[in-house]
Amino acid sequence: PTGWGLIGASNVAREWIVDAIRTQPGGEVRAVLSSDAGRGAAFAQANGIAYHTTSLQDLLSRPDIDAVYISTGNRLHFEQTIAAARAGKHVMCEKPLALSVEHASEMVRVCNHAGVVLGTNHHLRNAATHMAIHGLIEDGRIGGLIAARVFHANFLAAALQGWRVKDQDGGVILDSTIHDIDTLRFLFDENPVSAFAMTQSGRLARDGIEDGIMAVLRFPGDVLVQIHGGYTTPFSPGGIEIMGERGVIIGRDCMSQQPIGTVSVRDADGEHEIPLKHHNLYHRAFGLFTSAIHGDGRPAATGEDGVASLAIALALRESARTGREIGINVP
């Protein structure tokens, strides 16, 4: 069996992760940490978790916990990951791994040193849609890549209009565009070399926090990618288009937590839909992570992937702030 502790009585843990853990053979959620005893107790009861605590050391000292899932506020991920690794617990951490590349890199170093697995919960690369797109690119189905467009703007539900639009560690870039970045890194097997962005603010977010972004990433080989992200545009379709020398790959409704969407190729023979077998994205992520902690393979997105997505996301932030194209150096 694999015993899990949840660090953070969060929405994403409740909605997706408790189930993803319990779906794994031997996967058990044994404890939850909340900074608020009442919230922790309510979360534990609602989700059938036997133990709750407000003390990180208490949770980490439990021998029946092999791994932790960290989904607290973004500024807490760093210190909680370091503490968990030092206690010998494997860590599946939410994105952004941290608020600085230095902190994220330190998380990777400390987990490596402690001999524990660090994963980053970038779910989209687990989707049947993106796995199919990756295969099509790899097989050269559309020839050499030229450009891509990502559409990942929607409307932030009223219940989620908290830290995302009010705290400086919120905003579209670190919340959502960072997933697009990870997806592009996964699809292209490369890091972008530079970033340019313009942002919007004020429709839902306050204090200059961005609630919309249009960005361009330049990938090696002179490949340009355009990204639209945001919280403020109801009913906008989500998707991705990848243009190559011989055709286009079109992913529709595939920038989603849900196992939905289609992939087609449009080329000289017309447009053809690729058959897909959908599966739960989080089940796959936690399955690969569980195998990795038992010595088999790697998480879908590693700690290093989380460092890279953060470095690129922060370059977009820097570009929006300065109005300049920012060179990217992924450590």
Q: For residue 93, give both structure tokens.
A: 């951490």
Cα separation of 102 and 39, whole Å?
32
DSSP secondary structure string for all residues of 10-37:
-HHIIIIIHHHHHHSTTEEEEEEE-SSH
Bridge partners for 215 per DSSP: 197, 227
In angstroms, what is the minimal distance from the CB of 20 to ligand NDP? Answer: 10
Q: In this complex, which beta carbon is closest to ligand NDP, that of residue 34 or of residue 223?
A: 34
In angstroms, what is the minimal distance from the CB of 221 to ligand NDP? Answer: 29
Q: In which residue are the tokens 């996301």 written? A: 313
Cβ-proximal residues to 246 (8 Å cutoff; 6+ apart), any chain: 141, 142, 143, 267, 268
In angstroms, what is the minimal distance from the CB of 207 to ligand NDP? Answer: 18
Distance (Å) of CA 238 to CA 71, 174, 253, 276, 309: 25, 18, 5, 18, 20
The alpha helices in 169-267, defined as continuous H runs, are 172, 178-188
In angstroms, what is the minimal distance from the CB of 238 to ligand NDP? Answer: 14
Q: In this complex, which beta carbon is closest to ligand NDP, that of residue 66 or of residue 175?
A: 175
Bridge partners for 247 per DSSP: 267
SS3 category, 193: coil
Q: In this complex, which beta carbon is closest to ligand NDP, that of residue 73 or of residue 224?
A: 73
In angstroms, what is the minimal distance from the CB of 125 to ligand NDP? Answer: 11
Contact between 39 and 7 (Cβ < 8 Å): no
Contact between 147 and 320 (Cβ < 8 Å): no
Q: In this complex, which beta carbon is closest to ligand NDP, that of residue 9 or of residue 111?
A: 9
Contact between 165 and 204 (Cβ < 8 Å): yes
In angstroms, what is the minimal distance from the CB of 46 to ligand NDP? Answer: 12
Q: In this complex, which beta carbon is closest to ligand NDP, that of residue 95 or of residue 152?
A: 95
Residues that bind ligand NDP (CB under 6 A): 8-12, 34-36, 39, 71-74, 94-95, 121, 123, 162-163, 175, 257
Q: In this complex, which beta carbon is closest to ligand NDP, that of residue 9 or of residue 101?
A: 9
DSSP one-letter code for 50:
S
In angstroms, what is the minimal distance from the CB of 17 to ligand NDP? Answer: 9
Q: In this complex, which beta carbon is closest to ligand NDP, that of residue 51 or of residue 163?
A: 163
Cα separation of 224 and 146, whole Å?
7
SS3 category, 136: helix
Q: In this complex, which beta carbon is closest to ligand NDP, that of residue 39 or of residue 298?
A: 39
In angstroms, what is the minimal distance from the CB of 106 to ligand NDP? Answer: 18
Q: In this complex, which beta carbon is closest to ligand NDP, that of residue 181 or of residue 250?
A: 181
Cβ-proximal residues to 278 (8 Å cutoff; 6+ apart), any chain: 128, 259, 260, 261
In angstroms, what is the minimal distance from the CB of 14 to ligand NDP? Answer: 8
Contact between 232 and 155 (Cβ < 8 Å): yes
